[in-house]
A and B are shown apart, each in its own frame.
Chain A
Amino acid sequence: MADTAMPDSSPPLGAADPRTRWRYLDNILTRKGPFVDEDAILGEPIIDRLSTMKVLFSGAGGLGCEILKNLALSGFKDIHVIDMDTIDVSNLNRQFLFRHVDVGRSKAAVAAEFVQKRVKGVTITPYCGKIQDKDDEYYMQFGLVVCGLDSIEARRWINATLVGMVDGENMDSMKPLIDGGTEGFKGQARVVLPTMTSCIECQLDMHAPRPAVPLCTLATIPRQPQHCIEWAHIIAWEEERKDDTLDTDDPEHITWLYQKALSRATEYGIHGVTYAMTQGVVKNIIPAIASTNAIVAAACCNEAFKLATSTNPCLGFPEQNNYMMYSGDSGVYTYTFEHMKKEDCPVCGDLPKTLHLYPNSTLQELLDSFAERPEAQLKKPTIRTQSTSLYYQSPASLEEKTRPNLVKKLSELVGDGEELAVTDPAFQVTFRFKVAFKK
């Protein structure tokens, strides 16, 4: 759909109909096709919704440039983009919204400017910073969240945030999450309906761990140039420069590792250690493939468009497919399937419930009340907030150190609105509560 949405040329100056550019989209938005959802209200209302729905997009890198362009060309008109990075000269080969003069500027700002200039009528609001800077209130304003992030940690954070925001009473608190990711010739597009379907945390094992060579191979029988670099990185640095923290962006550090690796390679008769390879291995750089980004971005934006308009069945509804994987390294292969929700998922296994507490009651009293909860009797609860270990039943050393908290008042230990995570050996799932102090 993103493809059909591409205009063949800019609309002629002074074109009478402002929707000329969108005539291909309008075919989908106004005609009742066989796949259109029966509840879809085609025409004006749907066009209107597409143009007013706020979409958040995070990660304006290689995949991100594609996604942002596609979202704007799919008819979304109120897009917010978050990225903390600045443009590096090495981005320019594939991150096509950036030019040489932009090097050093914020990716979010430049990407927003560029797309806004090329696609008239779209407003893109950039934020240069981390997704973690923003709170629930910020995320609450969006209808959809699309991610093209390169880190698993950031994905898990946004996932946990969106799952945690869901309030059963308010359907609008459920923000569909569309996640795209690429690694070389492989990629995936998936849709999460927080709390309703399998979440990023449920799917954590879908991310192949970084392939690693046994430490003893590195230490004793290196066979490849990469082994020599890893050895310099993990072992030699620790032996000789223990007191310096390795900074993979510091050329002096990379040069040092490169020279160490090179002399080790020479010792073992291994060829091929270069500075660029050292940088690649140490920073774990997997070459980005522009076509993979384009394919995955198109899939993500198709899902965004379908979710927003109900004009076609989309990924992500309960008991339907929610995960599309793509592999382009030997032929082209895609597989779409339903990743099942994990009953004991630490993030979506239990929905945070509001827990009304008296600020003057003690932690012990709270624990006792857990044992009497009708839905799940927690006889041996372990409990923490993000910042504080409130009480741990085990291990023994932690029990001892957290025991003094039992007699403290709750108001001394937790803040209003903070989340409590409660585990109990009798339950696989982690229970989560949001503290609301009674006045």
Chain B
Amino acid sequence: MDLSFTQEELDFRDEVRAFLDEKLPKELSEKVRIGGELDKEDMDRWHAILNEKGWLATGWPTEFGGPGWSPVEKHIFEEECAKAHAPRIVPFGLAMLGPVLQTFGSKEQQDQILPRILDGSDWWCQGYSEPGAGSDLASLKTRAVRDGDDYVINGQKTWTTLGQYANKIFCLVRTKTDGKPQEGISFILVDLDTPGIEMRPIKLIEGGHEVNEVFFTDVRVPASNLVGEENQGWTIAKFLLTHERTNIAGVGFSMQGLTELKALARRVKRGGKPLIENPLFAARIAQMEVDLEAMKITNLRMLYTAQTQGAPGPETSILKIKGTVIRQTQNELARRALGPAAAPFPSEDMFGNAALAEPEDVHNAATYFNNRKLSIFGGSNEIQRNILSKAMLEL
């Protein structure tokens, strides 16, 4: 048993650090540090910098333009990015559609679409969920009916993250209504400029706009946009769910979050002393740190399994559950540390002379509320438990 990184891995970490130090624009890391909203330009800019270095598609094999990293190298990269306050890589094209096309797509699809993901020509969004189909995704109703060389799509998708920046959407659609629901689903690529598509914003609990609803009325899409075979969509969706699960615990974010939380608790005063000296509050931080310390190793153990035995198994659901709970606990403690000063709605006033907190703390309450999503999306924590009790515990 040896818990340390190899010399090569340590060298790699130094290389990542040097790169971030040199190439990550300060305006971007500052925005990320204070929890501000990144716009499309910000994200495109960071993607372009990573792409130039060949480090954008971290999970892709080299033949498609990825760096060919091992799971551990990917982990190191993600951890260092979180520490440096780099913007998150937008996952829809890079971490979701990319691997799908590499596994199920035609040669034409791979040649046409993958380079456009890398160079930022296309921004993809994910059209899975519907108002009536969340956890029970297989009950989705959006219909695609074959008509000559086209499919005609009618229905509605929702919760489409960052759809307002996208020009493309990959969708799960129903192509067969009889038989088992899972067997009548297809995976199709849609240009958002196609007539008949309307996107509407959804405002979230803390006031931000990051998700949308997408309505399809007689939308004509070439049949060649189908990925894989007709009615093979569920297999693809399941592939996506088990793929790309190494960063699911968000350990890098949590490690960074812990550092920031301690800094905040040293800054804030109660009873004339730094809050961190308050035994009740310090105990809350300490408990979370213990959980995080264990989580780091749980995460590495699962990375090791993935590295030595191929694809990760259902036990990665443990990472999702515990990882999201740790991050939500941190958000909760950061809000609690500020006390009443966390209450103002983030606005320009809160950064001026009347500011109640340092810029990095102004969004604490908003972040706490927004991150309630972590245990809901990507398969809710209840669904993860269902998976675990069935597939791992065989109950």
Q: Do A and B bind each other?
A: no
